[in-house]
Amino acid sequence: MSGAALDPRLLGILVCPLTRQPLRYDAAAQELVNDTAGLAYPIREGVPILLVDEAREFLPNTG
Reply yes or no on whether the pLDDT at 61 is more than 70: no
Residue 1 domain-assigned (yes or no): no
d(CA 18, CA 31): 16
Residue 19 domain-assigned (yes or no): yes
Residue 3 domain-assigned (yes or no): no
Number of domains the chain contains: 1
Q: What is the pLDDT of residues 32-54, one digit of tens each?
A: 999 999 999 999 999 999 999 99
Reply yes or no on whether the pLDDT at 21 is more than 80: yes
| Domain extent for 36 | 8-57
Residue 47 domain-assigned (yes or no): yes
Quick one: pLDDT at residue 1? Answer: 43
Residue 2 domain-assigned (yes or no): no
Cβ 22 vs Cβ 13: under 8 Å: no
Q: CATH no. for residue 30?
A: 2.20.25.10
Residue 49 domain-assigned (yes or no): yes
Q: How many C-beta atoms lie closer than 10 Å to residue 29's C-beta?
A: 12
